[in-house]
Amino acid sequence: MVEREDEIDPRAVCGVPLGKTSDGESVYARYARSPYVEYREDTAGVPEDLPLDQLTVDKALEYINAPPDRELGIDPETGLPIVAKQGRFGPYVSLGRFPQWPKASSREGKLFRLPHHLKITKIAMAYLKLSNSVDNDDVVLRVLNSPKRGIGKSSLEKAKIFAESNGSSLFDALEQVEKLEIKGTAFKGIKEFTDFCRSIPTLDSPTPADLLNKIFEISGYKKEILSSKNSESQMKVLEELFEVLKEFETTEQIITEVERFEELKQQPKPKTSSLFDTMTLERVTFEDALQLLSLPRTVGVDPADGEEITVQNGPYGPYLKKGSETRNIATEEELLTISLEQCLDSLAQPKKFGRRATKPPLKELGVDPVTEKPILLKDGQWGPYVTDGKTNASLQLGDSVEELTDERAVELLAERRAKV
């Protein structure tokens, strides 16, 4: 993968073509941090437990065209709307709405989907902001040594102290480099930087994409990218960035959207609660939602030691908790009704199934010639596997529990040892 990294298209690898619509457009199931479907440039999340290869074109379009949410009412305590919605982990209700991101097919959506975590994108956005104003210290720090200009920490610290003592911006301090007692390479680098920044507004650039391209060319940052080890992947990111920027008329429009993007990321996420298995998104009521959002619920305090007892829904079902002690609860509905006395009774009982009981083997096979240990065929969390007590090897495509032979089991274990 390292050797062929530049040949691998992650979107193609992590995707399943579902087919085409009546108008000939392709529909895909894809996986990034969670599964989703894609039609043209529109996307929609799908439940985590839905196998992507079982999706159909019609089902994918249902997810894409589904209403984004359903408002059930206004919470009397907070004044926030209570919303029912389908999420990637299934249906849920939320107290308040999640930030409204722009549609993926819009120019704003394309801008948001760029890899903003990468250095090259951060540098690009900082230079565009710098073309609009040099008074943002964070932006100046981002591009001061991109490309490398030989401005070290000690020189930068002198500029920061000068700016603070004079109540000026960092850029203003750098423009007075003669007063900073900085010499040599750092002095030359600062002069080049400030002169270049002042020249940006004079560049003949009809579009933001043209402007950024000239900034990268004239500053020397593009040359630095091309000489780096991962120049090919960086240039691909840069090309994608230029394509998106071509859809904007002014740099101010881009800066506004990037700042909105940062604000949306900082917004607190609303409280959420998954629907019980017995509930449906279409039938969940305002009263149901209020009860769901009351979870986790504090049932009371154990009078013996004053420790709090809570009940909540977890990935393995409903349970109660007191300190490090936990007990399973039979049904999700009991989360809303279980009393303190019932919790204390449950805690008084020995904990059941603290660890999962060991399953008996599905089949006993022959003896492994390497370890001279008996081979067992077992059913595990990720499917059937063979083991000699030391090495485990999952059954592969084409293997079946019923037809597995001693020879095939020995072969699977040998292959597994070779990989470890």
pTM of the predicted structure, to 2 decimals:
0.59
Residue written as token pair 């409903």: 318
- List the structure tokens of 74: 């206004």
Q: How far is CA 339 from CA 7, 301, 320, 331, in A?
A: 60, 11, 11, 14
**39 and 112 both lie in a single domain:** no
Alpha-carbon distance of 164 to 175, in angstroms, equals 14
For the four alpha carbons of 108, 113, 114 and 118, in that order, the dihedral sign comes to positive
Local structure of 354: helix, strand or coil: coil
Kindly state whether residue 223 falls inside one of the protein's structural domains: yes
**367 and 344 both lie in a single domain:** no
- The phi and psi torsions of 91 (rounded to 5 degrees) equal -70, 145
Instruction: Please determine, for residue 385, whether its predicted confidence score (pLDDT) is greater than 60.
Output: yes
Kindly state whether residue 91 falls inside one of the protein's structural domains: no
- List the structure tokens of 387: 């083991």
Length of the chain: 420
What pLDDT is recorded for position 285?
93
Instruction: Please determine, for residue 175, whether its predicted confidence score (pLDDT) is greater than 60.
Output: yes
**163 and 215 both lie in a single domain:** yes
Question: pLDDT digits over 49-86, tens only?
Answer: 676 667 899 988 888 877 668 899 999 999 999 999 87
Per-state percent for the chain, helix, strand, coil, to nearest 5: 40, 20, 40
Kindly state whether residue 346 falls inside one of the protein's structural domains: yes
What pLDDT is recorded for position 340?
95
What pLDDT is recorded for position 72?
93
Alpha-carbon distance of 196 to 187, in angstroms, equals 14
**119 and 253 both lie in a single domain:** yes
Indicate the pLDDT class of residue 48, thresholds 50, 70 and 90. Answer: low
Kindly state whether residue 11 falls inside one of the protein's structural domains: yes
Average pLDDT over all residues of the chain: 88
Alpha-carbon distance of 95 to 183, in angstroms, equals 58
**248 and 318 both lie in a single domain:** no
Q: What does the pLDDT average to over 340-349?
A: 93
Question: What DSSP state is assigned to residue 147?
Answer: S
Residue written as token pair 């030989």: 150
Domain that holds residue 161: 108-265
- Please state, for a pLDDT cut of 90, what percent of the chain lies above it: 55
Kindly state whether residue 333 falls inside one of the protein's structural domains: yes
**157 and 259 both lie in a single domain:** yes
Kindly state whether residue 24 falls inside one of the protein's structural domains: yes
Domain count, the chain: 4
Kindly state whether residue 339 falls inside one of the protein's structural domains: yes
Alpha-carbon distance of 190 to 184, in angstroms, equals 10
Instruction: Please determine, for residue 26, whether its predicted confidence score (pLDDT) is greater than 70.
Output: yes
Kindly state whether residue 384 falls inside one of the protein's structural domains: yes
**341 and 254 both lie in a single domain:** no
